[in-house]
Amino acid sequence: MKSKLLIEQHFHGCFGIDFNTADVDDVLYLSKEILKYGIGGIFPTIVTDTVENTKNAIAVIKKAAGRQTPDMAKILGIHLEGIFLNPAKKGIHNSELFLPLREENFKLFDDDFIKIVTLAPELDVNLIQYLKNRGIKVQAGHCIGGDLKNCSGVTHLFNAMSGITHRDSSTALSALLDDNIYTEIIADGVHVFDDALRLVFKTKPSNRILPVSDCLPVTKSSLKETVFAGEKIFYDGTKAVSKEGTLAGSTMLLPDIIRLLHKKGMFNMQYIDNPYEYHNIEPDGYLEWDEEFNIIKVHKN
């Protein structure tokens, strides 16, 4: 079987490298190694941090993108997941660093390399329209609001958002009902129960589903603990959590998640194409898979 190269749009790091703290050489090394796993394009994802640290992380990733070679997964832009979230659904993020959803606050670290912003739409003052005018994808996440009319997508459905309820609107319910909303899902067997996954795949149009890893720096590394988003994170071989038990991102790369979905009979090849359509990206190579969805060979143009 053949498919396009994988695109990872929600991806905090791996091989012990964290995009919030990495230097240019770290980012270049990661982008080269990750191509070997069939991932041809990445949107390095930055979690909530100080304005100064956020600016530095953006500058590092952007500089690395300018130094890439053809044997690397292309850095397609930055996914900013943080700072404009709802404290009620903060997850692992540090809510003390959150800022009001105002245009002037985004301009503190504004950069044309930011392509996706996860935010809480119910707290918006005048930020969403500014982002849309800039052509930035606005995704609802770490939020409780059910009004998604100004959003392009939803970040890690069900996780860190108001869930399905029969008495009120919610982020998850609106995401499932709106056929135009692109919907990230972490199908690693930890973040979302299998029956909830089946509900998503049954409810959403197949061309609006975005499997993502949301993977952490511990992924494909020997690390059993690390500091992520200012929190000590502990990895037990299956999941990564804070000392209070708060679930952080996943510890699987996207091809591993795809293989897991295939084993459960839930995978659709359309899911690989969807990020290309969502971001208007042209293919830059292809993958060869065996019948069990193990990657046989990576071909990059």
Query: Is residue 40 within 8 Å of residue 285, measured between CB atoms?
Result: yes
Residues in the chain: 301
Nearest Cα neighbor of 200 from 248, 130, 259, 271 is 271
Backbone angles phi, psi at 99, to 5 degrees: -120, 150
Does the structural domain 2-300 have CATH classification 3.20.20.140?
Answer: yes
Can you give the C-alpha Rg of the chain in angstroms?
18
- Each residue of 7-16: pLDDT tens digit? 999 999 999 9
CA torsion through residues 128, 145, 49, 77, sign: negative
Mean pLDDT, to the nearest integer, of 172-185?
97
pTM of the model: 0.97
Q: How far apart are CA 128 and CA 62, in angstroms?
A: 23
Which residue reads 């037990």 in tokens?
A: 236
Which pLDDT band, with edges at 50, 70 and 90, does 1 fall under? Answer: very high
- Each residue of 218-265: pLDDT tens digit? 999 999 999 999 999 999 999 999 999 999 999 999 999 999 999 999
Q: How far apart are CA 132 and CA 221, in angstroms?
A: 37
pLDDT at 166: 87
pLDDT at 33: 98
* pLDDT(83) > 90: yes
Which pLDDT band, with edges at 50, 70 and 90, does 165 fall under? Answer: confident
Domain ranges (residues) in the chain: 2-300
Backbone angles phi, psi at 240, to 5 degrees: -120, 125
Mean pLDDT, to the nearest integer, of 214-221?
97
- Each residue of 130-142: pLDDT tens digit? 999 999 999 999 9
* Residue-averaged pLDDT of the chain: 97
